Structure 1
Amino acid sequence: MRILIGAVALVALAGCLDQDKRPAGLVSATEKAKGLSVASNSPDAAVKSWWSVRDAAMDLDREICLEYQRMKSPITDKLKALSTADLPAREDCFLDQLNFDRKISKVEVESDTRAVVGAVIKNITPPEPGAVLDARDRQLKEAGERYRYTLERKDASGEWKISRIENFPSYSSNWRDSYSKPEPSNNRYVYEGYQ
C-alpha cells in the first residue's frame, strides 16, 4: 500500500509542484538520491550499492509521503470531522527513521557470470514508545536475519547485477524470496482502508 501511495504521490508531485515550492526535506532527499554513485564492478560492491540506494529510497519515500499527506489534507480533515478519537487514524506514512546494520558474511564467486553474497541484516532502530520487546524479541533482533543475494553478469568483463534476493526469517525453516513478482489482482477484496 505504501509503495502504491509513494508512486501516486511521485506522479502527482512531479506534475504539480514547482521546483521553487517543494519542501526542503523533499528537495534534500531528491538531491541525495540523485547524487548517489553506484558500483557494480564486484558482487559485494553491487550489494553495498543496492543497500545505499534502498536507504536513500526510504528517505525519499518518507518525504514524498509527507507532501502527499499535506496535499490530501482536505480529505483527511473531513474524515477526522466524521469520526471520534476512538476510531484509529490510518497512517499512510512511516515517519520514523529506520536503521539497519548490514554486514556481508560471505562472497562466493561460482563462475565468471554468477556469484552469491551472504549477509546478516539487523534492524537497529530502537523500539517505539510503549512497544514491548520481550526476551525472545530481543534475541531475534540482536541476531538479525540472513540474506542471500544472487548476482549475474553477461560475461567475465560485465557489470554485476542482482537477479534474486532471498532471506531466512526466524519463523521459517528455509530460504524465501524477498521480492516476488506481483500477481494480477482479481479485485475480490473490499480493502478496509478505503471503507
Structure 2
Amino acid sequence: MRGNEMSAIRIRSLSSIGERELRGLCEVLVDCVEGGASVSFMWPMTQAKAQAFWGSTAQALERGERLVFVAEDASGEIVGTAQIVLGLPENQPHRADLAKMLVHRKARRHGVGEALLIAAEQGARAAGKSLLVLDTASDAAERLYVRQGWQRCGRIPDYALLPDGAYCDTVVYYKNLAVSCAA
C-alpha cells in the first residue's frame, strides 16, 4: 500500500451503526450500485433501499452475526466498508464470508480496499475463523484478492444481474487464515 495514502485512511470496526455511520454507509452503497457494482441491488438505487439494508445489517451486527468495518478518509468521511458474515450454519464454525466490500468511486485506487481487506481478515481471525470465502463480479477486485493471497476456485457464468439487468459472472475465492498466519 502506498504510504501517504495508507496514513490518510483509518479503518474502524463498528460495534453499532449510528446516524453518522448510517449516512456514510448509505452514500457508499448508493454510489457503488449507481456505478454499476453487482452487490445485490438493481437500479434505481434509492436511499430507502440503502437504509433498509444497513438497518438489517445493524441488527445482525448487534446479534454478533457480522463484523462491519469502515474506511474513513482524513476528514472522517466514510469512503468504504467491508463485512465478515459470522452467522453461518453450525457445521461451519471455522469459517466466515467476506461480504459487501465497497469503496466509493472517488476513493478507489488509494489503498482503501486493501486496508479494508486486511482489517476484515484480522477481524475474522480474532473471531476464531480459519477460513474465509468470497465471491466477486469485479475484475479490479480480483487483482486485489490475488495480491493478498486469496485462492481462486472458479467462475460461475450468469450468476447474478448487474444493476442495469445484464447478467454477470462471479468468481469464488477462499483464504485459509491458519496457513496465511504461519506464512
TM range (shorter): under 0.3
Higher CA-based Rg: 1
TM-score, length-scaled by structure 1 = 0.25
Counting strand residues as a fraction of each chain, which structure ranks higher?
2
Q: Which of 1 and 2 has higher RCO (CA within 8 Å, sep 6+)?
A: 2
